[in-house]
């Protein structure tokens, strides 16, 4: 009779932890996607490069936990969401406020630098200090507050998730599985909220965690492959400290963000350097580098797109003079579809172009679009006060390089009262003050600023 192997001291968590549906913070994407259903376990046996042991040894776990938590207590950054989540909580409302702060901060931190998020988080919490306050907001208010952070679908999911929490009793779900039922909360965010706010011993895996674990275990597999990610979740689950799960998860992420960085790791200051297989390998092999892990993955080739953006201004003063301070001056803005890139945001009218379209072709496309979508027939010379090329601007998304040809088109007031309900496109006319307070994307804001600067230069006297 064969002798049974002893059970691992750290219980496996594959029954409760599935693959991460969130991309690592440093690996951006054009827009967050709806959370798919958990995929079934693969039938084939998982193997990773030169790894022989897919589990941390018991003594490794103890050493890593102790070293990381000691380091974190001394070196953690002072961040506003931590001040809330680490404070004393004696009531359900206080615990819910912790969960809410973690939720907002984690959604903001996806694909965004910490220093950028701090101001946004502080302003957000002043305006909507609890999930109940957020649930009463409109999408326009949320987009306005979010403007500049990018990936606006995240903001919409925050609002929809808040409404769902309030509609179902107003209390945050207390476990990973229940949190995942909330709109926009995936495996990573659920783990962060559950471990930090509710002290549930579950892991979180983002780009920083993937990098730290890949180096600890010299994992040479593709870090974006779903099977690799599943195994890293499993390893992270073995490491998480049962007494301080939230602090431990933040410690691993803090390590990856500050010391175990992608290109310049500070191994001499790393609290877990003695457990790092990648560092040990460099000592035995002069050609090896800690930065060999995780494996570099070829970036997706950036797509080149082109568009004509027309800032349409309609003036009402009788002389037909252009004056942006005139209360009668209105700008035409269009609402993007509720799905896809920059979903639900307002922008200036724009049309897609081919790379080689010249000015005549661009303007013809714009004229057809304005007529068919808004009933603005600008082919009559009496309608146009002025039409100027403003310039070009390249806006970079994760996988798209968008070159925009920007022009300013000023029309007389008679066109302001054309039929507004033609077609399915949502649009409206707003004055410059309203435009300045709206939640516009960075690209749209840049186009407007270019128009303003162009107008100032055009009206300035020529220096002699």
pLDDT score recorded for residue 414 = 57
Torsion of CA 401, 108, 214, 198, to 10 degrees: -160
pLDDT score recorded for residue 328 = 66
Per residue in 56-89, pLDDT (tens digit) is 999 999 999 999 999 999 999 999 999 999 878 8
Q: Is 254 a catalytic residue?
A: no
Asked whether the beta carbons of 249 and 195 are under 8 A apart, the reply is yes
Residue 337 is encoded by which pair of tokens? 């579809």
Interatomic CA distance for residues 63 and 216, integer angstroms: 13
Asked whether the beta carbons of 194 and 14 are under 8 A apart, the reply is no
Interatomic CA distance for residues 194 and 175, integer angstroms: 6
Per residue in 23-38, pLDDT (tens digit) is 343 333 333 334 333 3
- DSSP-derived 3-state class of residue 207: helix
Please enumerate in sequence order all residues whose Cβ is within 8 A of that of 262, keeping only pairs 6 or more positions apart, or say none.
26, 211, 291
* Residue of 106, 187, 254, 313 marked catalytic: 106
Q: Which of 247, 270, 273, 249 is nearest to 259 (CA)?
A: 270
Q: What is the pTM of this model?
A: 0.77
Interatomic CA distance for residues 433 and 329, integer angstroms: 10
Please enumerate in sequence order all residues whose Cβ is within 8 A of that of 152, keeping only pairs 6 or more positions apart, or say none.
31, 143, 146, 342, 343, 344, 345, 441
Please enumerate in sequence order all residues whose Cβ is within 8 A of that of 206, keeping only pairs 6 or more positions apart, or say none.
20, 22, 24, 25, 188, 253
Asked whether the beta carbons of 405 and 358 are under 8 A apart, the reply is no
Per-residue confidence at 460, pLDDT binned at 50, 70, 90?
low
Q: Helices H, strands E: what count in the chain?
A: 16, 7
Residue ranges of alpha helices (H) inside 20-150 are 58-75, 80-85, 92-109, 114-127, 131-135, 139-146
Per residue in 110-128, pLDDT (tens digit) is 988 999 999 999 999 999 9
Tokens 């004696």 correspond to 90
Residue 11: CA atoms inside 13 Å, Cβ hemisphere, count?
A: 7
| Domains, in order of start, for the chain | 58-292 (1.10.340.30), 303-459 (3.90.79.10)
**DSSP character string of 123-182:** HHHHH--SHHHHHT--HHHHHHHHTTS--THHHHHHHHHHHHHHHTTS----SHHHHTTS
Per residue in 238-262, pLDDT (tens digit) is 999 999 999 999 999 999 999 999 9
Asked if the model's pLDDT at residue 418 lies above 80, the reply is: no
Residues pairing with 330 in the sheet: 314
Q: Higher model confidence: residue 11 or residue 422?
A: 422
Per residue in 177-186, pLDDT (tens digit) is 999 999 999 9
pLDDT score recorded for residue 350 = 93
The number of residues making up the chain comes to: 464
């Amino acid at each position: 009779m064969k002798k049974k192997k002893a059970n691992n001291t750290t219980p496996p968590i594959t029954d409760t932890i599935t693959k991460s549906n969130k991309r690592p913070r440093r690996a951006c994407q054009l827009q967050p996607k709806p959370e798919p259903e958990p995929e079934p376990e693969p039938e084939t046996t998982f193997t990773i490069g030169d790894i022989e042991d897919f589990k941390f040894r018991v003594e490794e776990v103890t050493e890593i936990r102790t070293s990381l938590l000691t380091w974190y207590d001394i070196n953690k950054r002072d961040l506003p969401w931590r001040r809330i989540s680490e404070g004393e909580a004696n009531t359900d409302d206080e615990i819910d406020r912790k969960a809410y702060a973690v939720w907002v901060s984690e959604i903001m931190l996806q694909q965004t630098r910490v220093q950028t998020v701090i101001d946004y988080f502080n302003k957000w919490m002043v305006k909507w200090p609890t999930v109940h306050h957020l649930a009463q907001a409109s999408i326009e208010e949320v987009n306005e507050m979010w403007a500049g952070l990018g990936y606006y679908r995240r903001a919409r999911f925050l609002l929809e998730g808040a409404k769902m929490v309030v509609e179902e009793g107003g209390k945050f779900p207390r476990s990973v599985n229940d949190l995942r039922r909330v709109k926009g909360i995936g495996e990573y965010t659920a783990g962060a909220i559950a471990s930090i706010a509710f002290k549930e011993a579950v892991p979180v895996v983002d780009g920083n965690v993937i990098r730290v674990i890949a180096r600890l275990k010299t994992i040479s597999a593709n870090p974006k492959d779903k099977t690799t990610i599943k195994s890293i979740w499993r390893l992270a689950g073995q490491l998480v400290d049962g007494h301080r799960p939230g602090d431990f998860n933040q410690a691993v992420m803090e390590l990856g963000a500050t010391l175990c960085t992608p290109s310049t790791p500070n191994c001499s200051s790393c609290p877990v350097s003695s457990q790092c297989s990648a560092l040990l390998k460099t000592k035995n092999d002069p050609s090896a580098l800690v930065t060999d892990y995780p494996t570099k993955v070829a970036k997706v080739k950036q797509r080149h797109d082109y568009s004509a953006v027309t800032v349409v201004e309609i003036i009402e003063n009788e002389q037909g003079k252009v004056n942006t301070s005139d209360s009668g001056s209105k700008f035409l803005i269009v609402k993007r579809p509720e799905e896809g890139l920059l979903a639900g945001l307002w922008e200036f009218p724009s049309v897609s172009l081919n790379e080689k379209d010249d000015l005549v072709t661009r303007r013809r496309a714009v004229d057809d679009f304005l007529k068919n979508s808004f009933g603005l027939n600008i082919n009559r010379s009496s309608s146009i006060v002025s039409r100027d090329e403003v310039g070009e601007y390249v806006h970079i998304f994760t996988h798209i390089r968008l070159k925009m040809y920007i022009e300013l088109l000023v029309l007389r007031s008679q066109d302001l009262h054309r039929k507004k309900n033609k077609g399915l496109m949502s649009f409206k006319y707003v004055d410059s003050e309203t435009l300045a307070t709206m939640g516009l994307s960075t690209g749209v804001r840049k186009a407007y600023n270019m128009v303003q600067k162009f107008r100032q230069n055009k009206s300035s006297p020529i220096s002699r």
